[in-house]
Amino acid sequence: MAEPNPKKEHKSPGRKPPDTGELLEGIRRADRTALARGITLVESTLPSDREAADRLVESCLPHTGNSIRIGITGVPGAGKSTFIESLGLHLTGKGLKVAVLAVDPSSSLSKGSILGDKTRMNDLSRDPRAFIRPSPAGESLGGVTRKTRESIGLCEAAGFEVILVETVGVGQSETAVHGMVDFFLLLKIAGAGDELQGIKRGIMEMADAIVINKADGANLEAARQARTTFRQALHLYPPKADGWRPEVMLCSSTEGSGIEAVWETIRKYREKALENGSFDRKRMEQNTTWLRQAVSEQLVSGFYENPEVSRAYRELEQAVAARQISPFRAAERLLELYGPNR
Amino acid sequence: MAEPNPKKEHKSPGRKPPDTGELLEGIRRADRTALARGITLVESTLPSDREAADRLVESCLPHTGNSIRIGITGVPGAGKSTFIESLGLHLTGKGLKVAVLAVDPSSSLSKGSILGDKTRMNDLSRDPRAFIRPSPAGESLGGVTRKTRESIGLCEAAGFEVILVETVGVGQSETAVHGMVDFFLLLKIAGAGDELQGIKRGIMEMADAIVINKADGANLEAARQARTTFRQALHLYPPKADGWRPEVMLCSSTEGSGIEAVWETIRKYREKALENGSFDRKRMEQNTTWLRQAVSEQLVSGFYENPEVSRAYRELEQAVAARQISPFRAAERLLELYGPNR
C-alpha cells in the first residue's frame, strides 16, 4: 500500500521526536503507519531527530536480514514501474510481502521520475501485502543512500520478505544500490537500436540478470536478437566472485510473460549463494564497505569545507593546470594547511 | 636503452641528495644517466630525498606534456613485452624517441613479471632512441603510481615523444594507468578460449583499442572471430566522453603485422582529440583527479593509522557484523573518536 509521506509533521522545530519504543513495537506488528513514520524519522534532516532515528534503526537491526533484497535499474523508458508492479503483484499473489523503495538523489530535479507519480503502480499500491515508499527528498547521494539502506532494515523488521529497490539508471546511484542488495537486475528494452546504446559504463558488469522488457508483439524478434547479443557480451567477462553467471531473459510486463522466470532465477541465485556461503559473505562485505565509505565521505567533505583549504584548493588547482606544481605536491600542501588548522 | 637501476646508491642514510639543478640540465640535454638518476630520486623512499625529488619534478613540469602517453595492459601471456618491443622498434625506426615505464605494485611478489626480466626487450633495450625503466620496487599502489606519474614528466622533459606505460592487467593498477595516459590499449590473445575469459571487470570499458595479439598461423581464424565478438560487445557501450569509438585490431608481434595499424589508430585518436579539445581536457581532468585522490588517500590512511581509531574499528566492525549497530552509526562513532584526538 502506498503511504502518504508524512514528512511535514516532523519539520516543526521543537517538536518532540517520536517514541522509538512505540515505533519499534508498531513496526514489529507490521503496522504500516508505524513503518511509514519510522522511515520518515530515518529520512528526517532535523538534527534533533537523528538520535531517535539511530535508536530506532539499532533496535530494528536484530530483526533484519530475513528478506531478499533486489536492485532494479534501467534507463527511463525501460518500463521499470510496470515491471516492478508486475513482479510485485506476482509475488504478493504467492503470499509474499513486498516492499518497494527507491534511490534517486536527483528526484527533486526530475520530479516524478521515480515512484513520485502517485498514479504509478496503481494496483500494487492498493495491495495489502505491498508497501511502496517514494524516494527520499533530493539530497546528496550519501544522504539518500544511507536513508534507503536503513529503511531496508525497517521494512525487514516489519516482516517484508522481498525488498525491491528501484534506481533511475542514469547517475551514480546504481553503484550505491548495487552495494545494498543481494541481486542486481538491469532492465532493458529492445528495438529502436536501444540495445546498442544507453547502458552506462559499468552497469552491465554489475548485473546478476539482464531482463529485456517489452518483449511482445512486433518487438519480440528484436528482443530475441538483443538477448543473443547480451549473452555473448556477458560471456566476455569472467564469472563473478560468487560464481554466478548472469542470465539474460525476456519479459513482457504488460502480457505478464517472463515474470515467473525472473523470480525463478532470483530464487535459484539465492539458493546457490546461501549454499556456497556467498550470500552472507556479500552482506557482510557490503556492511564493511558502507562503514568505510561513510568514514571516507565525512573525512573528505570535512576537508574541503575547511575555508582555508577551499581557498587554497582553487589556487593550487590552477597552479597544477599551469604546470607549476605536481598534483601530488599540491595535495601535500593542502594537507599541511589542514593539519594545524583543523 | 635499459639502464641499471641505481637505487641502492640512494639507500645510505646521511647521503646528500643530488643537485637537482644539475640533474635537470642533464635531463634537458637528454642525458640518459641523468634521467635514470632523476627517476631514482623520484622513486626514493628516503624522506631526505623527498624535497629534492619535488624540486626536480617541479623544475621539469614546464617542459612536460609534449608526448603521447599510451597505457598497455593485458593478462600475463598476452605477449605484452613482445608487443611493446615491436611497437617500440617500429616507432624508433620512424625516428621517434620512446620511453617504456611500468606500473606493477606487486612486482616484489611476482618478481620478473613485468620489465624485470633483463632478457626481455633485448633489441629495444639496445636501441639508442629508447629508454626502458623497470617498475619501481613493490609498494602501495598509491606510492607506485605517483612515482610512475612523475617519471612520465621526467621522460617528457628529456624529450621522449612516446611514453609506453605497461601494466600487468590483473590488479588495481589498470585504473591508475588509465588515469595517467592519453590512450589505453588492451592486449588480448585469441584461441584456447582466451577471448571468453580473463578480462577483469571494467577493463574492457576503459580501452580505447583492443589489440588481438598472436594473430598468425593457426591462430588467425580464432583471432578474426574474437575481433567480431569484441566489436559487437563494444557496440553495447555508448561512445566515450571524448567521442571516440574504441577499435578492435589484429596484430602479430612476431610477424610484425598490424603494428603500423595500431600506431595509425593512436595517431588518428590524437589528431581527433587535439582537434575537439578533449586531449587537453582529459589531461587537465586527470591532474585534478590525482590531486583529489592523493588528498583522500592521505586523509583516510591517516585516519586508520590513528591507534584509537584502529582499536575501535575492529570492535565496531564486529558489532556491525553482529547487527548491533548500523554501519553509518559505527562510522560516526569512529569519527567522533578521531576528532578530538587527532
* Residue scoring higher pLDDT (B330 or A45): B330
How large a percentage of chain B has pLDDT more than 90?
58
- The average pLDDT across A63-78 equals 91
Confidence of residue B90 (pLDDT cuts 50, 70, 90): very high
| Cβ B93 vs Cβ B223: under 8 Å | no
| Cβ B124 vs Cβ B89: under 8 Å | yes
- List % helix, strand, coil for chain A (3-state, nearest 5): 55, 10, 35
Confidence of residue A23 (pLDDT cuts 50, 70, 90): very high
Where exactly are the structural domains of chain B?
17-63, 65-275, 306-341
CB neighbour burial string for A49-59, b if at least 16 within 10 angstroms, e if fewer: bbebbbbbbbb
Q: What is the pLDDT of residue A254?
A: 84
- Looking at the partner chain, which of A199, A284, A299 has a beta carbon nearest the beta carbon of B238? A199
Residue B153's nearest CA partner among B50, B71, B42 is B42
Q: What is the pLDDT of residue B171?
A: 63
Q: Does A295 touch chain B (CB under 8 A)?
A: yes
Please count the residues of chain B. Answer: 342
* Residue scoring higher pLDDT (B196 or B271): B271
Q: Residue B30 corresponds to which amino acid?
A: A
Confidence of residue A229 (pLDDT cuts 50, 70, 90): confident
Rounded-to-integer distance, Cα B232 and Cα B196, Å: 14
The angle subtended at Cα B62 by Cα B59 and Cα B64, nearest 5°, is 105
Which residues of B fall within a CB distance of 8 Å from A229? 232, 236
Q: What is the pLDDT of residue A327?
A: 92
Indicate whether B9 pLDDT > 50: no
pLDDT tens for residues A129-155? 999 998 776 567 777 888 999 999 999
Query: Chain A residue with minimal CA distance to B320?
Result: A287
Indicate whether B109 pLDDT > 50: no
Indicate whether B312 pLDDT > 60: yes
Can you name the CATH fold of B65-275? Rossmann fold (3.40.50)
- Residues B291, A323: C-beta atoms closer than 8 Å: no
Q: Quick one: cell of B115?
A: 620489465
Mean pLDDT over all residues of chain B?
A: 85
- The average pLDDT across A153-180 equals 89
Query: Chain A residue with minimal CA distance to B55?
Result: A325
Distance of CA A319 to CAs A53, A261, A330, B61, B291, Å?
45, 57, 8, 11, 11
Indicate whether B341 pLDDT > 60: no
pLDDT tens for residues A261-282? 999 999 999 999 999 999 999 9
Indicate whether B101 pLDDT > 50: yes
- The average pLDDT across A227-235 equals 85
Confidence of residue A59 (pLDDT cuts 50, 70, 90): very high
Confidence of residue A118 (pLDDT cuts 50, 70, 90): very low
Indicate whether A84 pLDDT > 60: yes
Q: What is the pLDDT of residue B253?
A: 86
Q: Does A238 touch chain B (CB under 8 A)?
A: yes
Indicate whether B200 pLDDT > 70: no
Confidence of residue B112 (pLDDT cuts 50, 70, 90): very low
Q: What is the pLDDT of residue A45?
A: 86
- Residues B332, A195: C-beta atoms closer than 8 Å: no
Q: Which residues contact B73 (CB under 8 A, 6 or more apart)?
A: B80, B166, B167, B168, B169, B174, B177, B184, B185, B186, B187, B203
E strand or H helix at B189, and its extent?
Answer: strand B183-189
ipTM of the complex: 0.81
Indicate whether A48 pLDDT > 90: no
Rounded-to-integer distance, Cα A163 and Cα A157, Å: 12
Mean pLDDT over all residues of chain A?
A: 85
Indicate whether B318 pLDDT > 80: yes
- The average pLDDT across A194-201 equals 55
Indicate whether A108 pLDDT > 90: no
Q: State the number of CA atoms in the 13 A half-sphere of B172 facing the CB.
A: 8
Query: Chain B residue with minimal CA distance to A63?
Result: B323
- Looking at the partner chain, which of B201, B284, B323 has a beta carbon nearest the beta carbon of A237? B201
Indicate whether A8 pLDDT > 50: no
Confidence of residue B102 (pLDDT cuts 50, 70, 90): confident
- The average pLDDT across B1-29 equals 71
Indicate whether A125 pLDDT > 70: yes
* Residue scoring higher pLDDT (B66 or B2): B66
Which residues of A fall within a CB distance of 8 Å from B66? none
Domain at B17-63: CATH code: 1.20.5.170
